[in-house]
Amino acid sequence: VTQVAARTRPREPLSRARVLEAAAALADAEGVDAVTMRRVADDLGVEAMSLYHYVRSKDELFDGLAELVADEILAGSSAVDRPVKGAAWRGVVRDRALAAREVLLRHRWAAGLFESRTAMPAGLLAYYDGIVGVMGSGGFSNDQIHHALHALGSRAVGFSQELFDPGDASSPRAQAAMVEMEPMLPNLVGMLREVAHDDPDSTIGWCDDQLEFEFGLDLVLDGLERVRRGRSGRGS
Amino acid sequence: VTQVAARTRPREPLSRARVLEAAAALADAEGVDAVTMRRVADDLGVEAMSLYHYVRSKDELFDGLAELVADEILAGSSAVDRPVKGAAWRGVVRDRALAAREVLLRHRWAAGLFESRTAMPAGLLAYYDGIVGVMGSGGFSNDQIHHALHALGSRAVGFSQELFDPGDASSPRAQAAMVEMEPMLPNLVGMLREVAHDDPDSTIGWCDDQLEFEFGLDLVLDGLERVRRGRSGRGS
DNA sequence: ACCTGAACACCGTTCAAGT
DNA sequence: ACCTGAACACCGTTCAAGT
């Protein structure tokens, strides 16, 4: 796609940063499966083998992509930095999670990348370090914070699996599928029908992802605040 | 691996079920990346092309694997079926989530499969239908149940991303890494040091996955119970 | 009907060779 | 030093052919 530019300025030197940026742009545009060594090289107007001077392997290239996005998350969350006393921790953690979410919505392939990599990107570690700091200032014990990070799970970095998305609600095909499934799945279909009825504006799908993300996030944050205040048996 | 058996009984006919079972066994033993058409065929003592009589493509084979595990989850959770009135919903949903977790611990590749597939396996839909039924009997509105499923996310089917697992805690390599990272990540390293100190028995890693899974699950379930009782602004 | 062999278009990666 | 071309060992998949 950018081959014309590459030909016009043919001596722009390759670099690890340029390789990663090209791979990220390709993943944004065509999905993570489109990212092959040969294709990234092609977009850079170069041969596949040239990439190996800046990246040890394809695996390491994906590690680099994960770091790229992790750094964006860290940068985005650093903007949310106000003094934390007591219950104010909640707003800061919430806003940081939502800031992280915005980054991941720009790079939808990144969530899957975080899950598949074994090593945690340095930027993500730094992001977590900030969360730990905020919660510590808020009055949580380290043990409580540790549990809290697990309880938040990927929500802390702005995503949760969209495991439950029935897809396009209003299409004739979906409506027919609902009728067909109703005998097998009476409770589920009944629920979906009512949800769709209550909110006829959500024509694209049944589920407002942003709203549901915030509902789940708030549910966990509220629970953690109760732990912090000692109004729960947990976290002892 | 089972080629000897295949040679001994050379006329055992192929079938979609046998193909899926061979693929699942291979994934259990060597990870999901080892599952290639050629390798599955090899394990069955057959040529790669033969599989295409029972499976449209590799993608459809993975769909089949997801369905296999989903059916196991459904079967395992069906065992948890006691009368539900009011607050008893919580115990049933909890036990079903933990039963689902046991299945996923036997097939560690399945969680990733659920996330990567776009279509939800029929068994998982049936599982969710059961959860909706239980929560409905417990007194939740359909709208509340819908939010609840999103809030539970993958926890409802027994897994959550292990996004935050620092790995082997007690190895000299890890200890050296801690010292090295401390200036950059003071809060995180401080937390981990204290957690490791409080629980010196967890020598394999810092985190007891089962305990953390239950902590997060209970936090969400407690929050949902509060929603059910109307003690929260949410769920209106 | 069920299975196969050869072939095609793709991969990641190695190596020796170019400039 | 940086990039390349040919080659290797693997993929998923098509197609025509075997039994």
Please give the full DSSP string across B149-215, using - where no structure is assigned: HHHHGGGGGT----------SSSHHHHHHHHHHTTT-HHHHHHHHHHHHH-TT--S-S--HHHHHHH
Q: Is the pTM of this model over 0.85?
A: yes
In chain A, alpha helices (H): 3-8, 16-30, 37-43, 58-78, 89-106, 110-116, 122-138, 142-152, 172-181, 186-198, 209-228
Residue B125 is predicted with a pLDDT of 95
Q: Is A209 helix (H, G, I), strand (E, B) or coil?
A: helix
Q: Which nucleotide is nearest to B61 (CA to C1')?
A: D12
Residue A235 is predicted with a pLDDT of 38
Least confident of A75-84, A209-218, B170-179: B170-179
Nearest residue of chain B to residue A214 (CA atoms): B151
Give the C-alpha separation, A225 to A138, whole Å.
Answer: 10
Residue B168 is predicted with a pLDDT of 66
Least confident of A5-14, A36-45, A126-135, B18-27: A5-14
Q: Give the pLDDT band (50/70/90) at residue A74.
A: very high
- Judge contact between B41 and B50, C-beta under 8 A: yes
Residue labelled with tokens 């003690």: B231
Per-chain mean pLDDT for chain A: 88
Chain A hits for B198, CB-CB cut-off 8 Å, are 143
- The C1' atom of C10 and the CA atom of B10 lie apart, in whole Å, by 34
Give the C-alpha separation, B1 to A36, whole Å.
Answer: 32
Please provide residue A213's backbone torsions phi and psi, each rounded to the nearest 5 degrees.
Answer: -60, -45
Chain D footprint bases within 7 A of protein beta carbons: 2-6, 10-16
**Per-position pLDDT tens, chain B of length 236:** 344 444 444 457 889 999 999 999 999 999 999 999 999 999 999 999 999 999 999 999 999 999 999 999 999 998 888 888 889 999 999 999 999 999 999 999 999 999 888 889 999 999 999 999 999 999 999 999 999 999 999 999 999 877 666 666 677 887 888 899 999 999 999 999 998 877 766 555 678 889 999 999 999 999 999 999 987 644 33
Residue A204 is predicted with a pLDDT of 56
Higher per-residue pLDDT: A153 or B2: A153
Residue labelled with tokens 């990599």: A117
Is B57 near strand D, with its CB below 7 A from some atom of it?
Answer: yes
Query: Is A206 a residue whose pLDDT tops 50?
Result: yes
Least confident of A58-72, A160-174, B59-73, B207-221: A160-174
* Rounded mean pLDDT, A58-69: 97
Chain A hits for B152, CB-CB cut-off 8 Å, are 216
Residue A75 DSSP code:
H
Chain C footprint bases within 7 A of protein beta carbons: 2-6, 10-16
Give the C-alpha separation, A100 to A97, whole Å.
Answer: 5
Residue A178 is predicted with a pLDDT of 87
Of A134, A157, A133, nearest to A69 (Cα)?
A157
- Judge contact between B36 and B55, C-beta under 8 A: no
B221: Cα separation from own chain's centroid: 18
pLDDT tens, position by position, A105-114: 999 999 999 9
Residue B161 is predicted with a pLDDT of 75
Chain A hits for B147, CB-CB cut-off 8 Å, are 212, 215
* Rounded mean pLDDT, A8-21: 79
Q: Across the interface, do A206 and B146 touch by the CB < 8 Å criterion?
A: yes
- Judge contact between A105 and A162, C-beta under 8 A: no
Query: Is A234 a residue whose pLDDT tops 80?
Result: no
Measure the CA dihedral B226/B231/B235/B236, to 10°. 160
Least confident of A29-43, A48-62, A149-163: A149-163
Residue A8 is predicted with a pLDDT of 41
Give the Cβ contact number of residue B16 at 10 Å: 14
- The C1' atom of C1 and the CA atom of B7 lie apart, in whole Å, by 22
Residue A84 is predicted with a pLDDT of 84
Q: Across the interface, do A126 and B224 touch by the CB < 8 Å criterion?
A: no
Size of interface A-B (CB pairs under 8 A): 171
Among the partner-chain residues B116, B147, B164, the one whose CB lies closest to the CB of A149 is: B164
Residue B236 is predicted with a pLDDT of 36
Q: Across the interface, do A188 and B128 touch by the CB < 8 Å criterion?
A: yes
Least confident of A130-144, A179-193, A213-227, B201-215: B201-215
The answer to whether the Cα torsion of A25, A31, A32, A37 is positive or negative is negative
Query: Is A126 a residue whose pLDDT tops 60?
Result: yes
Which residues are within 8 A (CB) of B60 and not within 5 positions of it... i.e. 6 or more apart?
none
Is A53 near strand D, with its CB below 7 A from some atom of it?
Answer: yes
Residue A137 is predicted with a pLDDT of 96
Of A186, A12, A214, nearest to A178 (Cα)?
A186
Give the C-alpha separation, A161 to A144, whole Å.
Answer: 24
Give the C-alpha separation, B159 to B133, whole Å.
Answer: 21
Percentage of chain A modeled with pLDDT above 70: 87
